[in-house]
């Protein structure tokens, strides 16, 4: 399977769709947010550094994230393809990912962009706050995360388009999780045929 980069705003469903894709195709799944939250829970040095950024809705510095990602990638089973969920979030991370994969004889594969209106994102994130109790799912931090997304992450969409690997899936067109998944699976199968 080709590698897959899942891209979209906070609350766009990256984690949910990644899990569905990983189980359907037996792929590896790296969520950088989950990696950081696990470090925080274990009370590691990395977790201590990450917490300040996460609680503020800010991104962890690129150099640190790139190291974490490369270590995690090298720990995944080879040959099954990996889903990158929440990485890259900056152009520097994207360039570093491309280089890291090239050094291993691999490539970026395909990018899947989830396009979801901001009122739907806010509704989902506030609902998740009640269900999962994530400290960064409060309205003030969510607004900061949206601002960071627009300023630092959204410009990457164009970077992927220029790489020729962007595939967009629009909530307003698909309308349901099942509709989104069906369109995504179809595209993945087409590109791996
Ligand atoms: P997520 O679970 O993907 O929404 O990530 C939660 C938080 O973890 C983000 O708001 C960032 O503070 C941090 N984070 C996760 N992935 C990255 C990344 N690739 N670069 C920088 N910070 C990240």
pLDDT tens for each residue of 1-12: 999 999 999 999
- Nearest in space to 51 (alpha carbons), one of 43, 62, 40, 41: 40
CB atoms within 10 A of CB 26: 10
**What whole-number distance in Å separates Cα of residue 170 and Cα of residue 192?**
22
- pLDDT attached to residue 43: 97
Does the CB atom of residue 53 touch ligand 1 within 6 A? yes
Catalytic residue among 2, 14, 98, 104: 14
**What whole-number distance in Å separates Cα of residue 99 and Cα of residue 114?**
25
Q: What is the pTM of this model?
A: 0.97
Residue 134 a catalytic site member: yes
d(CA 123, ligand 1 centre) in Å: 20
The pLDDT-based confidence of 74 (bands split at 50, 70, 90) is very high
DSSP-derived secondary structure letter, 61: P
d(CA 188, ligand 1 centre) in Å: 25
Residue to probe by mutation, ligand 1, list 12, 17, 60, most atoms within 8 Å of CB: 60
- pLDDT attached to residue 25: 98
Name the token pair of 14.
Answer: 């990256």
- pLDDT attached to residue 85: 98
Average of per-residue pLDDT across 185-192: 98
CATH of 4-191, one of 3.90.1750.10, 3.30.70.120, 3.40.50.300, 3.40.980.10: 3.40.50.300
Handedness of CA 182, 187, 192, 193 (dihedral sign): positive
pLDDT at 156 over 90: yes
The pLDDT-based confidence of 78 (bands split at 50, 70, 90) is confident
- In 67-173, at which residue ranges do the beta strands (DSSP E only) sit? 82-85, 110-115, 166-170
Catalytic residue among 72, 98, 128, 144: 128
The pLDDT-based confidence of 13 (bands split at 50, 70, 90) is very high
Does the CB atom of residue 125 touch ligand 1 within 6 A? no
Residues 107-138: pLDDT tens digits?
999 999 999 999 999 999 999 999 998 989 99
């Amino acid at each position: 399977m080709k590698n897959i980069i899942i891209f979209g705003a906070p609350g766009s469903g990256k984690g949910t769709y990644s899990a569905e894709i990983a189980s359907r195709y037996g792929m590896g799944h790296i969520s950088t947010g989950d990696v950081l939250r696990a470090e925080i829970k274990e009370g590691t040095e990395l977790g201590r550094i990450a917490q300040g950024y996460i609680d503020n809705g800010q991104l962890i510095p690129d150099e640190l994230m790139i190291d974490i990602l490369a270590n995690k990638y090298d720990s995944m089973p080879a040959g099954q393809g990996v889903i990158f969920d929440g990485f890259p979030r900056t152009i520097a991370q994207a360039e570093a990912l491309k280089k890291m994969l090239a050094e291993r004889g691999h490539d970026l594969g395909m990018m899947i962009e989830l396009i979801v209106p901001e009122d739907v994102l806010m509704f989902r994130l506030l609902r998740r706050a009640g269900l999962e109790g994530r400290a960064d799912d409060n309205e003030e931090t969510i607004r900061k995360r949206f601002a960071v997304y627009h300023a630092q992450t959204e410009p990457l969409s164009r970077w992927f388009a220029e790489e020729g690997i962007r595939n967009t899936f629009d909530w307003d067109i698909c309308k349901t999780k099942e509709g989104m998944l069906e369109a995504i699976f179809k595209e993945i199968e087409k590109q791996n045929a």
